[in-house]
Amino acid sequence: MTAKLSADNLTLIRGERCLFEGLEFALESGGLLLLEGRNGCGKTSLMRAIAGMLTLETGEIFWNDVPVLKQRQIFHGDLVWLAHRTGLKGDLNMIENLHFEESLRPQSSRDPDEVYLRLGIERLKRLPLRSLSAGQQRRVALARMLLADVPLWLMDEPFTNLDREGRQLVMDLVEEHLGRGGMCVMAAHQDVDINAPVTKIRLQ
């Protein structure tokens, strides 16, 4: 199944500032949309707008050519969002956290243990998340992405807190995901080396 994420004439004003105006993009299966720009230029806001959490001044986001706001449930069932705050509970352990996610969106047929092994978190299963390092928590959030069976990945600064291997791992995972016909919207500071059709949006 091919999917398509597109946007038309997006304008977003936060307070007194116009973050972007007349922005448009189209992303097809297998493509990567890279959001660039300095701190505070509106990358996260654009990402939240794409996820349907911000009201735009003008313009609309389309998922398979249908406005997102008219099919919010369907659209949300097709995406998983790696936000700056991981959204995992510090008092629960990894398994309990991921178990909760199972009920929120369709799950892939991947073997969870393989995913944990790949991300290097297989020994952390029974520890409360609070006791893990920031980078390890980030990896658990990545496990949530891998275990969900969705075409669209939204990644806000996915490299934060990760070591060099971790960064490479994220790029590999995104490349695999795109190779299987998925798509990804990524906000990043670092240079991203991913072998896929890349659309760049530079926010001022």
Partner 1 sequence: MNDTNTLQPGILSGLWATARRDLLLAWKRPGDVLNPLFFFAMVCTLFPLAVGPSAEQLEFSGPGVLWVAALLATLLSLNSLFLTDFEDGSLDQLLVSSQPLPVLALGKTLAHWLTSGLPLVLVSPLLAITYRMPVSVVPVMMLTLLLGTISLSLLGSIGAALTVGLHRGTALLSLLILPLAMPVLLLGANTVSLAAGNDVYTTGIWALGAYAIASLSLAPYATAAALRISNE
Q: CB–CB of 141/86 below 8 Å?
A: yes
Q: Is 135 in the site for partner 1 (CB under 8 A)?
A: no
Which span sits near partner 1 by CB under 8 A: 110-118, 165-173, 175-183, 191-199? 175-183
Alpha helical stretches, state H, 87-157: 94-102, 112-119, 134-147
Q: Is 13 in the site for partner 1 (CB under 8 A)?
A: no
Cα 137 to Cα 19, 22, 98, 161: the distances in Å are: 31, 37, 12, 9
* Main-chain dihedrals φ then ψ at residue 115, nearest 5 degrees: -65, -45
User: Is 39 or 109 the residue whose CB approaches partner 1 more closely?
Assistant: 109
Q: Is 138 in the site for partner 1 (CB under 8 A)?
A: no
Minimal distance, residue 164 CB to partner 1, in Å: 25
Nearest to 121 by CA among 107, 110, 111, 132: 132
Q: Is 104 in the site for partner 1 (CB under 8 A)?
A: yes
Q: Which of 9, 17, 22, 87 binds partner 1 (CB under 8 A)?
A: 87
What count of other Cβ atoms lies within 10 Å of the Cβ of residue 131? 11
Under DSSP, the state recorded for 125 is: T
Pairing mode, strands 152-156 and 183-187: parallel
Q: Is 179 in the site for partner 1 (CB under 8 A)?
A: no
Q: Which of 22, 70, 102, 163 binds partner 1 (CB under 8 A)?
A: 102
Helices 134-147, 164-179: axis angle to 10 degrees equals 10
Q: Is 180 in the site for partner 1 (CB under 8 A)?
A: yes
Minimal distance, residue 185 CB to partner 1, in Å: 13
Residues 24-63 that bind partner 1 (CB under 8 A): 29, 51-55
CA distance 91 to 130: 6
Q: Is 181 in the site for partner 1 (CB under 8 A)?
A: yes
Q: Is 79 in the site for partner 1 (CB under 8 A)?
A: yes
Binding site for partner 1 (CB under 8 A): 1, 3, 29, 51-55, 73-74, 76-79, 81, 83-92, 96, 100, 102-108, 128, 149-151, 180-182
